[in-house]
Amino acid sequence: MNDLDKFSPGLDGVVATETSISFLDTIQGEIVIRGYDLIELSKTYSYVDIIHLLLEGRLPDEEEKKALENSMNQRYELPATVFEVLKLLPEQTHAMDALRTGLSVLGGYDDAIDDRSLLVNKERAYQLLGQIPSIVANSHRILTKNAPIHPDKNLPYSANFFYMITGKKPSPMEEKIFDLSLLLYSEHEMPNSTFTARVIASTQSDLYGALTGAVASLKGNLHGGANEAVMHLLLEAGTIPNFEELLKIKLSRKEKIMGFGHRVYMKKMDPRATMMKEALKHLSDIKQDYLLYRMCEAGERIMEREKGLYPNLDYYAAPVYWMLGIPIPLYTPIFFAARTVGICTHVLEQHAQNRLFRPRVKYIGERHVL
């Protein structure tokens, strides 16, 4: 058989690269991050710990974590030009498009943009991890005619992100749950956005270009946009019976139900969704409001019974964000902000051991003789 006759739609099952960053172990049911199970990490570590683990290759000690937290707090501020550019965008601009634009503007302020060395790229990644939450939160505020909220450098990383989004400092419980969501979104092997970033980086393009391409990829509702679609569906239904009926109607029409199914987790629930489900239950207990939790459980039962599909992270992250008071248009940008550390780590690895991605095609068109 000719190699060009081998074809896997969507590159399903095709190994595209070697990596020491992460791996989805479907046999053990683990999301392996630098050798650790992400779900086990989420029980005792924070998002800042994961930033250090991914970029430095090991978990930080207490002094290193404190130093990283302090360092990140000095990186939040954006050039004034970024805000001016965001103010020029049309009101109907999608939050992911605003994020993409803000990222592109930041590239112009990097005097060493052509330096691909590991040391400079790593410093660039830390800088972007500080600035991207500011773009996410304040681009939405600008588009909705609200004044930007500048960071409070006395707050921890995740609390500061939450504060810029909502305008209020989170309670310890809110901070913990929001931080957990960032941790769970942080890295997930080779989804479309990460692959996009690595393909771009393989041309020796810069980190800003790779991240901008990843934003465009993540915007699609078959990838990051699913969390927004889930929340709109829950709000459209409004009650448990209505949600059950709506799902049944959509299934009868063979419509795709967002928040269910995953290319890797085919026959079980996404373990990250399990953690978010527990977080939703905790929020429901505190607020004594179980409607969204029970609606989601009802939907989970229907989809398992009718389609053999299980929730992915987006299904339970959406109602968690809603109960935290986060605007729906920011669900996907928050996903990207959390995933920035994973994508940056992949770009650093790609630059360090590069081979240009250049696949071939299986041609099925006609051939003409002149």
How far is the C-alpha of 227 from the C-alpha of 184, rounded, in Å?
14
Largest CA distance in the chain: 75
33 backbone dihedrals φ, ψ, rounded to 5°: -120, 110
> Looking at residue 225, what is its pLDDT?
85
Per-residue pLDDT of the chain (370 residues; tens, 9 = 90+): 566 678 888 888 889 999 999 999 888 889 999 999 999 999 999 999 999 999 999 999 999 999 999 898 888 889 999 999 999 999 999 999 999 999 999 999 999 999 999 999 999 999 999 999 999 999 999 999 999 999 998 999 999 999 999 999 999 999 999 999 999 999 999 999 999 999 999 999 999 999 999 999 999 877 788 899 999 999 999 999 999 999 999 999 999 999 997 666 656 889 999 999 999 999 999 999 999 999 999 999 999 999 999 999 999 999 999 999 999 999 999 999 999 999 999 999 999 999 999 998 888 999 999 9
Domain annotation for the chain: domains and CATH numbers: 30-178+186-220+329-352 (1.10.580.10), 225-324 (1.10.230.10)
Please identify every residue annotated as catalytic: 262, 314
- The strand order across the sheet containing 30-33 reads 22-25, 30-33, 36-37
> Looking at residue 292, what is its pLDDT?
98
The per-residue pLDDT for range 270-284, each reduced to its tens digit, is: 999 999 999 999 999
346: nearest Cα among 92, 22, 72, 7: 22
- The continuous run of DSSP H or E covering 297 comes out as helix 291-307
Whether 200 and 209 have beta carbons less than 8 Å apart is answered as: yes
> Looking at residue 87, what is its pLDDT?
96
> Looking at residue 12, what is its pLDDT?
84
User: How far is C-alpha 346 from the geometric centre of its chain's CA atoms?
Assistant: 14
Please state the pTM of the whole predicted model. Answer: 0.94
Whether 296 and 315 have beta carbons less than 8 Å apart is answered as: yes
DSSP annotation string for 60-106: --HHHHHHHHHHHHTS----HHHHHHHHTS-TT--HHHHHHHHHHHH
Alpha carbon separation from 185 to 77, 106, 154, 221, 331 (Å, rounded): 23, 23, 25, 16, 11
Type of residue numbered 1: M
How far is the C-alpha of 297 from the C-alpha of 295, rounded, in Å?
5
In our burial notation (b when 16+ CB lie closer than 10 A, e otherwise), range 17-32 reads eebebbebeeeeebbb
How far is the C-alpha of 94 from the C-alpha of 99, rounded, in Å?
9
